[in-house]
Amino acid sequence: MVGDWHPFRLADPVEWYIRYPVSVPPIGVVRRLEFGIKPDVWFRAVTWSEESARRRLLGYFATPEDAAAAVWQAYLVESRAQHEQAAKRADRLRATNPPPSLPPERGVLLSDSRDYALTTMTRLHLPEDAP
């Protein structure tokens, strides 16, 4: 039936933005490339940047899955490096600005457990003769 046909059926997807749910911009781009009369198909993977010139080539791959995996691996390496830099900055700040010491009666509030800290805070407000 002629009415079911649409020109979009002629379209071939050639570019995919690889996104990670916690990252607002894409983390990379995979583009389908064809070479020759009988197309030899490859997939180019690059890191993401708004400007094409600032994107870093990750490689050419035989499958889109391999290209997407290269984008993911590059993202993990980059995010690990960013986390390590942030941790080093935090360590330097802690070394130069130690936390103020608390009076002994408030030291119990520095618990890792919120429930324990809330219970302790509640106990601090009870009268002295309460159990």
Q: pTM (2 decimals)? A: 0.59
Q: Which residues contact 51 (CB under 8 A, 6 or more apart)?
A: none
CA angle 38, 65, 37 (to 5 degrees): 10
Q: How far apart are the first and last CA of the chain?
A: 84
Which two tokens mark 50? 């708004």
Name the residue with tokens 């490096």. 81
| Region 60-86 average pLDDT | 91
Where would I find the beta strands (DSSP E) of 1-131? 15-18, 28-35, 40-47, 57-61
Per-residue pLDDT of 25-48, as tens digits, reads 999 999 999 988 888 999 999 999
Q: What is the pLDDT of residue 131?
A: 52
Cα–Cα dist 43/89, whole Å: 38
